[in-house]
Chains A and B, each alone.
Chain A
Amino acid sequence: MFHRRRATMAAFLLPAIAVYSVFMLYPLVRGLYLSFTDSLGGPVAHFVGLQQYRAMADDPAVSAALWHTVLYAVVVVVVQNGLGLLFASMLFRRPRVRQALNVVLLTPTLISPVMAAFIWSYLLAPGGGLNGLLDAVGLGSLRHVWLGDPHTALYAVAAVNVWMFTGYSCAIFLASYMSMPTELLEAAALDGARGWRRFRSIEWPLLAPALTVNVTLSLIGSLKVFEFPLVLTNGGPAGATDTLTLLVYRNIFGGGKFALGIALSVLLLVTVVVLSSATNSLLRLRERRI
């Protein structure tokens, strides 16, 4: 009786396995294969070994895009989690406004990236909201063509990303704060630990798991960023905000370099997997030491 039961239960898996294999695993394997061919998307594809990867390595636009992607991720991870932590620690100490402000900070997270990019493309425009605000408060000298200057464009796009997801980092840190053992915090208070000292030796170690989660999530999310640079700058000015995802998209669906686009997507996969698992292992190791 129990054998038949197990067999029926195992059959529950079949629909999920079928859909997942056909629409995820098979394309993944086929993509890896196609990156070693000269496929143009049609039925003909010759095996060409590492040719696409060599073409990639020789193309300065690719190394530039890889660098932009990593720099963008670093900026977003540091600033977003720094601000999120700052907000969370302040909210934790103010129980009366905690819940309300947490929800307010989360609102931008709900907006789709395309819509957030719409809003900010006006705010960051030369005659737009931010420059107008700077004029209004007498800081007109700081006016800038934020998205048009190759030196600031990538940071401006990153700022939009940070605006959208800081509330999210904050919510995760705050949840970690709320789960701290009260006895420990009380004992620390009795011993006179306050301010920076209390944060550094009591709260910071207890926040380690939340930090791991936050850093890992924001790292993966920002390495895969697509809509923000697409809508805000479309890679410009002069390729200053070209990311790996934009190159993949352009090569596959517009450049006639189908196989090269696929090889680029493999580079993206490797970047995401290597950076996220390295960061994750380091942070876990750190958790265990604390």
Chain B
Amino acid sequence: MTSETSRLPVTAQVTSPRKPRRAGRLGSGLGTALLWVGTALFVLPFLFTVVTSLRTAADVARAPLGVPHSFTLKNFSDAFHQIHYGPSTLNTLLITGLSCVCITVLGSLAGYPLARITAGWSTAVYRLFILGTSIPVFVVVAPLYLLMRDMNLLDTYAGVVFIYTAINLPLAVFFYTSFIRSIPVDLEEAAALDGCGAFRTFFVVVLPLLRPVTSTLLTFVALQVWNDLLVPLVFLQDPGKRTVMVNAYSFIDPHTVQPTTLFPAALLGVLPLLVIFVFFQRQVVAGMSAGAVK
């Protein structure tokens, strides 16, 4: 399940120098048309959501698929209040941020010895971590609930961050170990000869080199944690600590609510991610392709 990731295509950015032969112009034109229609079908629901969320309820009721007559931002402010967007966004940001920090720190620290120490036990520990990539969170959710209850971690941010760290550590360990293995060991040996201890070698020599793999890992982890419903739904029941997804899920029944309430709520929920995507498009594409070992 894991070794295929070593040849996992990480980015789709490469450009090929090859020019396709212009044989069968008609067939090619038909293909291009098909391609555009197909892509449109995938984007249409999204565009429709954006447009509808900006229309007044009366306008939508008159002609759901028609040309909009009036635009308003009122739907957004309504949805904003209905899902307690402000506080729940802060909660989600806090949880996502803390989880990202913990996963990066623990993962990179663990990846270093696992990549550099070649002994039977380190291979065994590595395998144990990799095992975690194929365990669905559903399998541990009930015993985790008991554990959290016994440790008084229910309804705490710390509890949720611990869970996300444990869930994502296998992936982080896999990322960092394979990345550090690909770095030549010479630099570290030179540092050791100059009298650097393991600590200084790691923080001064190795850590700065880990930036690319960290950004890939973090985009993937941030997407996962931000979008997750199950963990906060089960482990954070205090209304003041709920995340965006939980609030949206609990306050909005998609089968009874008007699209003018439903769509702005859906868009607000994904807004931070779309902003991230615009700015870090390359890393996100890479992170999603590489990170999905899970």
Interface on A for B, CB 8 Å cutoff? 2, 5-6, 8-10, 12-13, 15-17, 19-20, 22-28, 30-31, 34, 41, 83, 86-87, 90-95, 97, 99, 101-115, 117-123, 125, 128-129, 132-133, 136, 163, 166-168, 171-172, 174-176, 178-179, 182, 185-186, 189, 194-195, 209-210, 212-213, 216-217, 220-221, 223-224, 226-227, 230-232, 245, 248-249, 252-253, 258, 261-262, 265-266, 268-269, 272-273, 276-277, 280, 284
Report whether A178 and B12 are in contact in the complex, using a CB–CB cutoff of 8 Å.
yes
What residues of A have a CB within 8 angstroms of the CB of B56 in the complex? none
- A30 contact set on B, CB distance < 8 A: 143, 146-147
* Given A17-B125, A112-B269, A216 and B142 contact (CB-CB distance below 8 Å): no
Contact B288 A23 (CB under 8 A): no
Bound CA span A180–B197, Å = 44
CA–CA, A28 and B147, complex, Å: 11
A-B residue pairs, 4 tightest by C-beta = A175-B9, A112-B227, A23-B166, A16-B110
Instruction: Tell whether B43 is near chain A: CB-to-CB under 8 Å.
Output: yes
A103–B285 touching, CB < 8 Å: yes
Contacts of A178 in B (CB 8 A): 9, 12, 14-16
Q: Is the CB of A19 within 8 A of B106?
A: yes
B242 → A minimal CB distance (Å): 13
Which of B9, B109, B128, B292 contacts A176, CB < 8 Å?
A: B9
Inside 8 A of A167's CB, which chain B residues have their CB? 42
Q: Chain A residues near B262 (CB, 8 Å)?
A: 118-119, 121-122
A25 to B141, CA, bound (A): 12
Expressed in whole angstroms, the Cα–Cα distance for A268 and B172 within the complex equals 24
The answer to the question of B58 belonging to the interface, with a C-beta cut-off of 8 Å to chain A, is no
Q: Assess whether B117 is in contact with A110, with CB atoms less than 8 Å apart.
A: no
Which residue on A lies nearest to B38, using beta carbons? A87
Q: How far is the CA of A136 from the CA of B129 in the complex (A)?
A: 54
Contact A101 B35 (CB under 8 A): yes
* Cβ–Cβ contact B270 & A111, under 8 A: yes
Task: Give the total of B residues in contact with A, Cβ under 8 Å.
Answer: 110
Known: A12-B109, A104-B39. A20 touches B132 (CB 8 A): yes
A102 touching B12 by the CB < 8 A rule? yes
Q: Using Cβ atoms and an 8 Å threshold, which residues of chain A touch B132?
A: 20, 24
CB <8 Å contact, B199 and A273: no
Let me know if A5 and B1 touch, CB within 8 A. no
Contacting A at CB under 8 A, from B231-272, are 234, 245, 248-249, 252, 254-255, 259, 262-263, 265-267, 269-270
Instruction: Say yes or no: A93 contacts B20, CB within 8 Å.
Output: yes
Q: How far is the CA of A70 from the CA of B132 in the complex (A)?
A: 22
> Are B139's CB and A16's CB within 8 A?
no
> Would A163 and B45 be within 8 Å (CB), given that A6-B117, A19-B162, A31-B140 are in contact?
yes
> B25: CB under 8 A from chain A?
no
Instruction: Chain A residues near B57: list those with CB within 8 A.
Output: none
B266: chain A residues at CB < 8 Å are: 111, 115, 118-119
Minimal Cβ-Cβ distance residue in A for B114: A13
CB-based contact A9/B113 at 8 Å: yes
Q: Is the CB of B156 closer than 8 A to any CB of chain A?
A: no
Check if B185 is an interface residue, CB within 8 A of chain A.
no
The 0/1 profile, CB within 8 Å of A marked 1, for residues 137-151 of chain B is 011111111110000
A-B Cβ contacts below 8 A, count:
305
A87/B13 in contact, CB under 8 A = no
Q: Which residues on B are within 8 Å of A, measured CB to CB?
A: 1, 4-5, 7-21, 23-24, 27-28, 31-32, 34-35, 38-39, 42-43, 45-46, 48-49, 64-65, 102, 105-107, 109-110, 112-114, 116-117, 122, 125, 128-129, 132, 134-136, 138-147, 162-163, 165-167, 169-170, 173, 192, 197-199, 202, 223, 226-230, 234, 245, 248-249, 252, 254-255, 259, 262-263, 265-267, 269-270, 273-274, 277, 281, 284-285, 288-289, 292-294
A33 nearest CB across to chain B (Å)? 9
Tell me the bound Cα distance from A175 to B16 in angstroms: 11
Q: Which residue of A lies closest to B196 (CB)?
A: A5
B113 touches A12 (CB 8 A): yes
Q: Which residue of B lies closest to A107 (CB)?
A: B46
**From A30, which residue of chain B is reached at the shortest CB distance?**
B143
User: Known contacts A102-B12, A110-B270, A114-B248: does B4 contact A216 (CB below 8 Å)?
Assistant: yes
Q: How far is the CA of A133 from the CA of B48 in the complex (A)?
A: 12
Partner of B136, one of A19, A117, A268, A280: A268
Q: Is the CB of B134 within 8 A of A220?
A: yes
Give the chain A neighbours of B267 by CB distance below 8 A: 115
Given contacts A114-B245, A119-B263, A252-B142, contact A17 B110 (CB under 8 A): yes
Give Cα A102 to B136, complex, Å: 29
Do residues B245 and A112 form an inter-chain contact, with CB atoms below 8 A? yes
B45 touches A120 (CB 8 A): yes
In the complex, are the beta carbons of A118 and B254 less than 8 A apart? yes
A16-B110, A101-B39, A273-B134 known; A175 vs B169 contact (CB < 8 Å)? no
State whether A110 touches B284 (Cβ < 8 A): yes
Given contacts A16-B106, A16-B107, A209-B4, contact A265 B141 (CB under 8 A): yes
A127 vs B164: C-alpha distance when bound (angstroms): 39
Contacts of B4 in A (CB 8 A): 209, 212-213, 216, 280, 284
A23, B254: Cβ atoms closer than 8 Å: no
